[in-house]
Structure formats: structure tokens, C-alpha cells
Amino acid sequence: MTQLNETHQPELRSWVASANNQQTDFPIQNLPFSIFRRHGRNEKFRAGVAIGEHIVDLPAAHKAGVFSMSLTPMLRTLNKSKLNKFMGMGKGAWSELRLELSQALREGSPSQALLENCLVPQTQAEYKVPARIGDYTDFYTSINHATNVGKLFRPDNPLLPNYQWIPIGYHGRSSSIEVSGHGFHRPHGQLKAPDSDTPVLAPCKRLDYELEVGIYIGKGNAMGHPIGINQAEDHVFGLCMFNDWSARDIQAWEYQPLGPFLSKSFASTVSPWIVTMEALAPYREAWSRPSDHPQPLPYLESHDNRNVGAVDMHLEVLLQTAKMKADGHAAERVALSNFNQSYWTVAQMVAHHSVNGCNLKPGDFLGSGTQSGTTAESVGALLEATQGGKNPINLSNGEQRTFLEDGDTVTLTGWCDSETAPRIGFGHAAATVLPALEIE
């Protein structure tokens, strides 16, 4: 696990004034990575780091001579349109660059004059998915979500017996993961009504969001060589917000016996920024398993995982309907949860994923699964919030939702904050539901 160091000091301030705002997502203690370019310019996408309301253009900073010569090999990788090569260089490289960036951005830094010309306002930027995601695995790590959904379909046996022993997951479709700000068409699929003998092909009627945390793998492992739980986080580059959109009616018909397929592969949304595990060090918490539950097998158990395996990360869902947009009303909160309630930790997910010898690669992506709390206001999907569509949620403008309608925009946000450390934000993962296309 990452130890606290000088980059985490709460008193650090930046010569970038907007980074000192207490409500910013991107203070000098954060420094998350993205792939960006300026709107309307015939530019290459390249790597950047957020600081306040700006982005440090890393290739420009390298060219300006901001960094020491020892960083040259890694900085050359940041002129690419994906972060994979940099991610694959490992924890030591990531930490070395973070330290030099922190020092260059601090008040009184002699690098200010060089770096000022390398800043791009975030309002002028557009983004891409920051890594080439070769493989994507979606986990199911919230026992609250698993129990709530299980009650809808198996009231007498909501939690299947393997759930408390195995970090459950399935392999998803990486090609349909898009960066925040996109729109996607309502998917078609086979739907079968309970009172019908045969299914029909039709647009999804029960479209849902899923409030998840995304996990980017950094340095990989060789095939056949599992990653031990004590080394697992050394292989994790960082976290983001993730919406694994779900077509619940398609899912209900197709998921047995092999699990989700077309109900999950039509769209997923990530936030542009990857917050490194090092930045999250002040927000690590103890992880525990209730004493009356099965305790993890030895390969999923460690002293560090017990002491600091959890992340105190607030997770929020905002919904803005088409009518709200037309009337000039802002999006409103429909859920607030926290990643520290996850039944399985990031380290446990990585250790289990590789225990069979599976070779993870830089840029591979893990979804945490829907993160739900214990209250009605903290559930991370409409399927739970509406009890399977039986009880609509009420919005402040008088509208109701059982599932998403065309024109709805869902935005996921995440942040860490405390009385002893600065706020660390994750930005937004937002997308809009577009009408279904006609199928000839």
C-alpha cells in the first residue's frame, strides 16, 4: 500500500490559483491523468494532468525543460494518445513523475515561468478514453446491491452461497466503453414478458444506470504467475468513475445460464481522469468482514488489506431529464453512496482475477460493480431504487422515473474529503440516452 509522503501534505499550495479553492476536484495533492487535446485544433491527443481549472500539457512541459533528464524515457511515452506504456512502467515511475510535478506546481517553484505556458484551460479541452482497454472485467462487490437485487428475483434466497467466498465477476465488452460526454442509443434486444410464450425483438424498456468505480491496471503480470494480495495494488494505476449501463429487461431473459451479454455491451461511460492510488493514500481505511460471515481464504487475506484496504470515496448519481434541461433546471441527486462499503477490496479483486494465472496487462479495466449503501437514498441503480419498477422515484419538478427515458442525462461523480486532508475529486462520467434506432 502507498505510504504518505511530501506530495500529500495538506498545507501545500499551488501557484495555479484555482487549485487552492477548497471545492476544487483537482488540488495539488491530486494530480490525476487524462488524454486530451484542445477543441477545434488539429492537434494530437496527448497526456495531461489536472491542476485546478487547468491541465498541465505533459509533452509541452517536457519540451520546456521542466523535468529532470532522468524522467525522459517515461515522458516520451506521454506524447502518445494512450497512457498504456506509461502505466506499464510501474509504481516507481508513476511516483517519481508525481513528485516532480508536485514540486514544479507549488507556490514559489522556480519552474513556474516555464510551466505557465504549458497550461490549457479545461474548458478548452476534449478527452478520449485514457487507455487502450484490452480487456474489461466487471465485478459485483457490493453485498447490499447483490442482496437487494437477489430479493427481487429470489425472495427466499437472495444471496447465492458463493458470493461471500468469491469476488464474482464477468468479462465485459471493452469496445463500447466511451469517455464522459457522449450519447448512446437505447439498445434493442430480445424481451420476453412474463405472460408471453415467446420473446420479441424490441427496444429496451427498462434502461438503468449503475454507479461503479473503475480500476485501471498498470504494470501487468506474466501468464501463469498470480499476483499476490500484498503486491496487488502495485499493479493498479488508479481509479475513475464508471457507469455500466444496463438493459434490465434484456438482462432478465438472457442472463441464465452464462450471465450478461447484450444487456451490458451496448455502452459504458468512464470519467476522463484517472486518480492514482498514490493520491488516495490519505483516504485509505480499515476493511473488515462481519464476524458471522465467512472470512476470506488465505490468498485474499493480508494485514495491509485489513488495515487500509478500503477507500473512503463518496459516490453520487445526478439525473437531469429532457424537461429539466428545457426548463433550465440543474441535475439533481438521486443517490449518494461510498466505496468504503464494498464487500471486496481493489487488492482482492486483482488477486482473485490473477490467481488462475490470468495475465493482466497495462490498461486492462475492472469495474467494481454497482455500489449501494444500506439506505434507500444510497442504492446505485434504479432497479433497486424502484423495487424493480414497482415504486417510481419522484423528482423535484414533479416527474417520476421507474427506469430511464430518452433524453435523460446521468452524471456520476466521486470525491474524497476529510477534516485533515484536501478534497480529491474524480470529475464526471456523464452520458445521455438517445432514442432507439430503427432496425430494418
Mean pLDDT of 311-337: 98
Residue 182 annotated in active site:
no
pLDDT higher than 90, residue 4: yes
Q: How does pLDDT run across 76-134, given as a tens digit for each residue?
A: 999 999 999 999 999 999 999 999 999 999 999 999 999 999 999 999 999 999 999 99
* Residue pair 29/422 in contact by the 8 Å Cβ criterion: yes
Query: What average pLDDT does range 218-243 have in this prediction?
Result: 98
Answer yes or no: is pLDDT of 407 > 90: yes
Catalytic residue among 54, 62, 145, 352: 145
Average pLDDT in the 280-305 region? 98
Q: What is the CATH number of domain 6-128?
A: 2.30.30.230
pLDDT mean across residues, the chain: 97
C-alpha cell at 88: 506499464
Using a pLDDT cut of 90, give the percent of the chain over it. Answer: 96
What is the mean pLDDT of the segment spanning 329-349?
Answer: 98
Domain boundaries, the chain: 6-128, 136-434
CA distance 11 to 284: 19
CA gap 243, 234 in Å, rounded: 25
Would you say residue 158 has pLDDT above 80? yes
Q: How confident is the model at residue 281 (pLDDT cuts 50, 70, 90)?
A: very high
CA–CA gap between residue 249 and residue 254 (Å, rounded) = 9
- Which three-class secondary structure string do you get for 35-59? EEEECCCCCCCEEEEEECCEEEEHH
For the chain, helix (H) and strand (E) counts, in that order, are 11, 26
Going by C-beta distance under 8 Å and a sequence separation of 6 or more, which residues neighbour residue 307? 286
Q: What is the pLDDT of residue 1?
A: 72
Name the CATH topology of 136-434: Fumarylacetoacetate hydrolase; domain 2 (3.90.850)
pLDDT at 2: 78
pTM exceeds cut of 0.95: yes
Q: How many residues does the chain have?
A: 440
In the three-class reduction of DSSP (H, G, I as helix; E, B as strand; rest coil), residue 295 is classed as coil
What's the pLDDT score for residue 157? Answer: 87
Contact 28, 19 (CB under 8 A): yes
Contact 82, 132 (CB under 8 A): yes
DSSP 3-state assignment of 145?
helix
